[in-house]
Structure 1
Amino acid sequence: MNVQEAAAHLGPMFEHVAADGQLALEQLHLPAGAAVLDVGTGAGNFAIFLAMQGLDVLTGEPETDTTQYARKDWAANAAAVGVAERIRFQPFNASRMPFEDGRFAAVFFFGVLHHVDEHERRDVFSEALRVVKPGGSVVFFEPTRETLEQLWVRDPGHPRAAEPSDCKGDAKVEETTLKGRRMTIYRYRAL
């Protein structure tokens, strides 16, 4: 199934997610079957996109997350586009990930960091670097100003975009920034 066919099942937002996701993946050169982590499942759009690219996806969000963006029926969405077998869900807190060091080829945060309490963001960044393989990438997608303005129409309390660089502390990383369709993409490659 291609992106347009998937969007027919999942809605037009999926095309935007896929466009920005593709821009990021073009920089990463991940091999088919690579294990990746999608932090913040939501409706599952990003996990589904990653699975459609042939990646093995572990996705999750805190069990305690009761916001309007969490606890969506991602499994039904994944089944509708035929990728449910490539996605596994596990609840976790991004500031204390229950995964071994270097487990993932890449760690993705699609529209997540700005929802994390500011005092936890450094821990989240540090944990992402811990669980990514040496030379792997941590990728944050944060909404552009235009995207935020659209979000504020239906969710006036939606937080402003986060600046991932403010969270990296003394981490030794190579940083790349890309302008996506709806998101600014921040890639940090572990050195």
Structure 2
Amino acid sequence: MNVEEYARMYEAEETQWWYAGMRAISLSLLAAQWPEGAPEGRLILDAGCGTGNNLAHFRRFGRTVGVDLSDEALRFCRSRGVAAARGTLLSLPFRDGSFDAVTSFDVLYHRWVEDDRGAVREIVRVMRPGGLLLLRVPALKMLWGAHDEAVHSRHRYTRREVRRLLEGEGLEVARLTYANTLLFPVLAARRTLDRVLHRHGSDVGFLPAPMEWTFRNLLAIEARLVRHLSLPLGASLFALARKPATAAAAARG
């Protein structure tokens, strides 16, 4: 990712509609899995943590640790007061079975993750038996645009691709849901217009206040919906999966 993108992320992540909305959906999915809150000893890794905003919010569920390749991202993590180490999805600097849960948001699709199966395999390695993975990736090739180029995207995924990827590494997929569904027509039109007008650059930034409020609240509606149902279409794709609790279960899979 461009170094400038990290500064934009740091400034936008807490309140900008997309970041706030995606975080609300992530928190909703995790809360449905962990209604009891944060039992002592639960350890959560955010793989590709960026500037560390999610690490701060996920503390309600357990102790959080991040990992990121970018020294700039780690500098922002330190400024937030969250724990993070340098590493990549293909070489996580942790022992086997270290974490009760791993989250990874919009990382697997990057160009530097040349082997997405290898990255998932590495995530599974550091998960404890019975551990949880919450993954988010950009969805649907038809939405490819200037933003993907700006953030060094390699691929946008479908539900079938993600299921095949996770199950291929022995995970049991519990949920697959698209997100950013209610705004899908707007986003699709924006991508088409960007291509026609040859626009460049990322989408990170603030919209006029009424649009920020509207878009953020539409994603808040989705955050409530995904606790009970899977959305059929959207610009992002979330997956919840578990590592089998025993080696025998993994062998059966």
Q: TM-score, normalised by structure 2?
A: 0.56
By how many angstroms is 1:42 displaced? 1.4
**C-alpha contact (below 8 Å) 2:136/2:237 kept by paired residues:** yes
Residue among 71, 76, 93 paired with 1:73: 76
Instruction: Name the structure 2 match of 1:135.
Output: 130
| Structure 2 unaligned spans of 5+ | 1-10, 181-234, 245-253
Percent identity for Structure 1 against Structure 2? 20
Are the structure 2 counterparts of residues 99 and 149 from structure 1 closer, same or farther at C-alpha, using a change threshold of 3 Å? Answer: same
Q: How many residues align?
A: 172
Q: Which has the higher helix share?
A: 2
Alpha-carbon distance between aligned partners in 2 of 1:166 and 1:72, rounded to the nearest angstrom: 35
The alignment status of 1:62 with 2:69, answered yes or no, reads yes
Are the structure 2 counterparts of residues 188 and 54 from structure 1 closer, same or farther at C-alpha, using a change threshold of 3 Å? Answer: closer
By how many angstroms is 1:45 displaced? 2.3
* CA deviation map 1:39-91 (0-9, x unaligned): 1121222222212x24211101125x78xxx4562333x3xxxxx3xx31111
- 121-130 or 30-39: bigger deviation: 30-39
Alpha-carbon distance between aligned partners in 2 of 1:118 and 1:22, rounded to the nearest angstrom: 25
Q: Quick one: which amino acid aligns to residue 122 of structure 1?
A: R
**C-alpha contact (below 8 Å) 1:102/1:133 kept by paired residues:** yes
Q: Which has the higher contact order (CA 8 A, sep 6+)?
A: 2
- Name which one, 1 or 2, has greater alpha-carbon Rg: 2
Alpha-carbon distance between aligned partners in 2 of 1:43 and 1:74, rounded to the nearest angstrom: 5
**C-alpha contact (below 8 Å) 1:39/1:94 kept by paired residues:** yes
| Structure 1 unaligned spans of 5+ | 1-6, 79-83
SS of the residue corresponding to residue 115 of structure 1 reads coil
Runs ≥4 residues deviating over 6 A = none
The alignment status of 1:180 with 2:185, answered yes or no, reads no
1:1-191 mapped onto 2 (5 Å cutoff): 10-12=14-16, 13-29=18-34, 31-32=37-38, 33=40, 34-51=42-59, 53-63=60-70, 70=73, 73-76=76-79, 78=80, 84=81, 87-117=82-112, 119-145=114-140, 152=147, 155=150, 158-162=153-157, 163-168=161-166, 170-175=168-173, 176-181=175-180, 183-191=236-244
- Give the root-mean-square deviation of aligned CA atoms: 3.3
Alpha-carbon distance between aligned partners in 1 of 2:12 and 2:155, rounded to the nearest angstrom: 30
Alpha-carbon distance between aligned partners in 1 of 2:95 and 2:67, rounded to the nearest angstrom: 16
Are the structure 2 counterparts of residues 158 and 92 from structure 1 closer, same or farther at C-alpha, using a change threshold of 3 Å? Answer: closer
Q: TM-score, normalised by structure 1?
A: 0.72
SS of the residue corresponding to residue 98 of structure 1 reads coil
Alpha-carbon distance between aligned partners in 1 of 2:117 and 2:13, rounded to the nearest angstrom: 36
